[in-house]
Structure 1
Amino acid sequence: MTSIFTVSIDSVEGSTLRGRVHIINPDVPSVPRKSVFPLSLLVDAWWHLDRGFLHDEDDEEEGGDRYPFTADQGNDITASMRLKDEFSKLYELILGKHIRVTEDGYLLADDGKTVLEPRRKAKDVYQLDSGRGHDGISHFVMTSGNAEEFSQGAADIVTRYDISPYRNVPLRSEVAALENPDEPWDPEEPWGPEEPDGPADLDDYTVWKLLRTCSFAELPYAEIAVTVSDAGYLEHMVAGMRWSTTMTGHVC
């Protein structure tokens, strides 16, 4: 899936996390403001660490992943988390549950081999979405997420969520110079712009022509501060983490 944001964690103190959400995808040029978004980021980080997918990458210029520990250490952290079972449930609320089945759809045990008794098809037991495949162990299908339950969980878990104004946003004059290099931006001239210079609109695809020439450090971002009801929800988070995410707070 295409990455939507890159997330950098700057500090974790008690039950409060501070970081930055970098805007890297022109199709989603703003940081979601509902509490489901920061909770989905915490769940996404847990999933990356639990699977051993978060580690240092070489492409600093492009904003590659960063993690101050090894992948094995990250996995050990998630395995020892007090709230690890809750994170597993939250993940299923966002993306659905992974159900092992036979080729013709009958439910299997977790070993991917034993047919559960009584024999039942997954479609007769669960509300399924279109997700299905084979993961090297068995065929599987996916249940639907639960937006209402996840939203309620976010309301209970995220007690405060603040977003700063956007940083590193190009000026309208910079975008205009790229579009019309022979017509300088001059509000004093009769043919000049009607409005004073200021941050460009990130919804404007023209802005992204300019941003495509920027390094990761020069891309727009917003600072976030997230406070949770229990510090255990931040047990796996640490300053120096950075990863790309497909999360927007939307439930599949």
Structure 2
Amino acid sequence: MINVLNDELWFPPASEAMDDGLLAIGGDLSTERILLAYHNGIFPWFNEDEPPIWWCPDPRFVLFPEKLKISKSMRQLLKRSHFEFKTDTAFEEVIRNCRHITRKDQDGTWIGDEVVTAYTELHRMGIVHSAEAWHNGVLVGGLYGLKIGKVFFGESMFSKMSNASKYAFISYVELLKAEGIALIDCQVHTEHLESLGAEMIPRVDFLDMLGTLLPPQKTG
């Protein structure tokens, strides 16, 4: 049975998720609900014409920053500063590009108006961040996600030039590692991120890590 959420601020335990990771449907994208979700290893992912759908897959796809894999060709691009790397200078442009970029085997987008509004507000609160690759003054690749405690929860990325999103990702992982981030949540498997060192771990291990790496949630 799928859990149905209402206006009450709560989530069922991750153990109640279905085999594909589907945990609940409904509720809203208030900043309070979104932060409660991530603190419990849950994230929203749904089409624009659907109510919010909440997921907590098992296994979980993550990257430990110290296990980041950088190919020889990417090391050369980084050494030459092929792109200019920046953070948080064009968040709205990054999320707009993530929304509209064409992706293989995907029709439409899950980044609807409600998602854009919610994550833009979290950006203004200093929780959601963008990592950007620029070329000749033009934004050509990037990603965004939430930084909470010692965890970065990656949400989406885009690229308009070869290696641009990979350049932004690698540069940002190195920065996050220097800032003390111990875990990067990649949510679900992609070959692109697997090539960069991401791996599957049991959901129970992921949730245990969140318990030690995230600050206690404020209540009341």
Give the TM-score of the pair, scaled to structure 2. 0.27
Higher strand share: 2
Structure whose CA Rg is larger: 1
State the structure with bigger RCO (CA 8 A, min sep 6), 1 or 2.
Answer: 1
Give the TM-score of the pair, scaled to structure 1. 0.25
